[in-house]
Structure 1
């Protein structure tokens, strides 16, 4: 049973969390954990790692809830914590970025027309987890999290050109792996 029942009361839940209310924390966790887990999983590519990131992110969020100023939604604020924690975890694994600064003449390659079936979607999800970390992170931040290449560059500490090239190479690799498995 939920402590609160509408989305309009997130502000009230945040205020209760600021006062240390554990039921409000639980309610916010219930509301946001699935989406935040999926964000972490898309970035780190491993369920166990994503679960760790999720727990660390909520803990950080609740400990730093005073920093939430309401300039964005609570979900957007929490998602930024999840993204940053996911990337920090990958940095510890030493992601290899193909730095192509100054080599802006890269080809986009062909697009594949994917038939939108449940089987195709599942196949693509599996292939996404198999991409090299650098490719997977940029692809996920761009396609699923909605960041542009300038923002991705700032988040990851790479250039905008490198972000674009990683994205293009990730798409090419995704298409290549997809075609091999048809």
Structure 2
């Protein structure tokens, strides 16, 4: 029997739509850790990430009737968490630096590659990155969004997303090499 991935946890979602608190709690338990990790990677502050995740679940359960199985519940919820995290950063006035008026030539020069056993160095380096860079790195490398999607999410141009990503990657490599 083949199952469609879009309908993962459909019974819990449907019961939650009708207000079943036990089903809502079960969905919360299934997704809270992943959503926290997403928000934490973007915000870098434990308490802020926890607040964003709680707000995201509240919003998701309030608007569950608009969920139409066009994506998985997890990806729908992930989008809410990312949008709330970005809005929080905007409220804190942490801008993504627009680079449209500048032309940057970024070569493929990379210092020595990061070895797989240095993953902790990379994780620590990402935490050290400035917020705007950490945002781009998280959305592109970790969450898997492309530059068109990032531009849409952040309200910037595609070229700004690409420039920010390359600058963030360069800064990340510098930090990893120092650690």
Question: Is 1:48 aligned to residue 43 of structure 2?
Answer: no
Unaligned runs of 5+ residues in structure 1 are 1-6
Contact 2:12 / 2:24 at 8 angstroms: preserved in 1? Answer: yes
Unaligned runs of 5+ residues in structure 2 are 1-5
* 1:95 Cα deviation from its structure 2 partner: 1.8
TM-score by length of 2: 0.91
Note the aligned Cα RMSD (angstroms).
1.6
Q: Counterparts of 1:72-151 in structure 2 under 5 Å?
A: 72-111=71-110, 112-117=112-117, 120-151=118-149
Contact 1:104 / 1:161 at 8 angstroms: preserved in 2? Answer: no
Q: Deviations over 1:17-60 (max 9, x none)?
A: 01111110111011111111111111111111111111011111
Q: Deviations over 1:127-181 (max 9, x none)?
A: 1111111111011101111111111111111111111111001111111111112
Corresponding residue for residue 156 of structure 1: 154
Corresponding residue for residue 66 of structure 2: 67
Contact 1:37 / 1:54 at 8 angstroms: preserved in 2? Answer: yes
Contact 2:42 / 2:85 at 8 angstroms: preserved in 1? Answer: yes
Q: Distance in 2 between matches of 1:8 and 1:163?
A: 33
Q: Distance in 2 between matches of 1:95 and 1:168?
A: 19
Q: Deviations over 1:67-89 (max 9, x none)?
A: 10111100010001000000011
* 1:106 Cα deviation from its structure 2 partner: 2.4
Q: Write out the 4+ residue segments of structure 1 that deviate beyond 2 Å after TM superposition.
A: 102-106, 108-112
Q: Distance in 2 between matches of 1:12 and 1:160?
A: 39
Question: Is 1:18 aligned to residue 24 of structure 2?
Answer: no
